[in-house]
Amino acid sequence: EVNLVESGGGLVQPGGSLRVSCVGSGFIFSDYEMNWVRQAPGKGLEWVSYISSSGNIKYYADSVKGRFTFSRDNTRNSLFLQMDSLRVEDTGVYFCARSDKSGWHYFDSWGQGTLVTVSS
Amino acid sequence: SFVLTQPPSVSVAPGQTARMTCGGNDIGRTGVHWYQQKPGQAPVVVVYDDSHRPSGIPERFTGSKSANTATLTISRVEVEDEADYYCQVWDIFTDQRVFGGGTKLTVL
């Protein structure tokens, strides 16, 4: 069974930094492209970032480009999202999500999310 | 870049058919995927690539696409289908993934 578990969320002041993580199990982690998707309180889903299976290729939403850095460690089945220069509007639940292997770029498995709150 | 438009809400009685739309320019050049999200839970894909259903998703859930509009249809709606539904595409030109704003399905 595919399992994704996020951690590292918390309260941080505007302008601060935070790193959230995701550990995957139940599948060959290094074979899959991965993503972060976030959801502000009471709002819809917003794709944040993508990383290739090897970690060499990354894409970011315009809203986080230059502030967030997505990385992975396939030896530890882990993903990391380093979030710098945080803003109040970055508040939300951050989900890690696995990309399908069919090439259509949908998200076939999700974690339960970790809450990031940016507030003074 | 893609902008996907979904109606904010749809209401339907149990046993009836619910139809939720997702509109966007150039939607015809990429596959459309649909997710169901219940309160406090992670989203679950219910249709991928316009009309394909993952294993474990009831046959009551069907997807279709015509011109600039994709549609998620739920037949014989059940109370447990009450949730938020999001469409999503992959923009092949920018490599960005895009979600629609979501539709809240209320089962009366």
Half-sphere exposure of B49 (CA within 13 A, CB side): 10
Over the stretch B22-46, which tens digit does the pLDDT of each residue have? 999 889 889 999 999 999 999 999 9
CB contact under 8 A, A45 and B97: no
Taking the CA of residue A105 and the nearest CA in chain B, the distance in Å comes to 6
Residue type, A67: R
- A104 has pLDDT over 90: no
Q: How many CB pairs under 8 A join A and B?
A: 61
Taking the CA of residue B49 and the nearest CA in chain A, the distance in Å comes to 7
Backbone angles phi, psi at A29, to 5 degrees: -55, -40
Q: How many angstroms separate the CA atoms of A92 and A43, rounded?
A: 9
Matching residue, tokens 């595409």: B89
A67-79 as b/e, with b when 16 or more CB fall inside 10 Å?
ebebebebeebeb
CB contact under 8 A, A107 and B88: yes
Q: Are B41 and B89 in contact (CB under 8 A)?
A: no
Q: Does A107 touch chain B (CB under 8 A)?
A: yes
Residue A56, number of CB atoms within 10 A of its CB: 7
Phi-psi region of A18 (alpha: psi -120 to 50; beta: other; left: phi over 0): beta
Over the stretch A52-94, which tens digit does the pLDDT of each residue have? 999 999 999 999 999 999 999 999 999 999 999 999 999 999 9
Over the stretch B69-90, which tens digit does the pLDDT of each residue have? 999 999 999 999 999 999 999 9
Q: Does A23 touch chain B (CB under 8 A)?
A: no
Which residue does chain A place closest to B55, by CA atoms? A108
Residue A88, number of CB atoms within 10 A of its CB: 11
pLDDT in the model for residue A103: 83
- pLDDT category at A7 given cuts 50, 70, 90 is very high
CB contact under 8 A, B45 and A95: no
Phi-psi region of A2 (alpha: psi -120 to 50; beta: other; left: phi over 0): beta
Candidates B97, B99, B104: best to mutate against A (most CBs of A within 10 A) is B97
DSSP secondary structure letter of residue B27: G
Q: Does A110 touch chain B (CB under 8 A)?
A: yes
- B-chain CB neighbours of A102 within 8 Å are 48-49
- B67 has pLDDT over 90: no
Over the stretch A19-61, which tens digit does the pLDDT of each residue have? 999 999 999 999 999 999 999 999 999 999 999 999 999 999 9
